[in-house]
Structure formats: C-alpha cells, structure tokens
Amino acid sequence: MAKGSVSIHVERCKACGFCVEFCPTKVLALSSAFNSKGYHPPQMVAPEKCSGCDLCGMYCPDFAIFGYRLNAADSANAPDKEATDAR
C-alpha cells in the first residue's frame, strides 16, 4: 500500500530527469506525453512504492513536483492519475 504520493505541475516541468533518477524507490519515469513547451514531464509508474519522502521535491529545479505522505485512510484508496496532475 502506498505511503505517499507525488503531485506534478506538468506545465512547469523541463524534463531534467532529476526526480526520476534520484527517487529512492524508483516510482517515477518520464512520460511520452508533451507539455506545452515540448518537454516530457514525469509520471508515476509504480505509485504503490511511493513513500512520500519528498526527495523529488527537493531536487526539482523548477518547483514542478513534490511528494507528500498519505495518512492511513487515504492510502486505502490510492491516488488516481488525475489527482496527481492537478497542481
């Protein structure tokens, strides 16, 4: 069960890949989709592994991603994809 989740601001991303590379549990991967500037923003490929440590948030040079911990009630219904793209 996922302990955390990430929130991605797709339009701010420049696809440097820092979050993907340094995620301790390898939750993220760059998606094949484009944002309006033509970059490939990251997406969660293994959301169940996310611990919500927010290391992706600390590495992000464009303030486009951050991790947060889910409380026990939230982790029962794991975050859907639309929710992670909200911010």
Site residues (CB under 8 A) for other proteins? Answer: 5, 7, 9, 11-12, 14-18, 21-22, 37, 39, 55, 57-63, 66, 68, 70-71, 73-74, 77, 79-80, 83-84, 86-87
Q: How far is the CB of 22 from other proteins (least distance, A)?
A: 7
Residue 57: in which H helix or E strand, if any? helix 55-59
- Strands (DSSP E) found in the chain: 4-8, 28-30, 42-44, 65-69
Specify the DSSP class assigned to residue 61: T
Q: How far is the CB of 17 from other proteins (least distance, A)?
A: 5
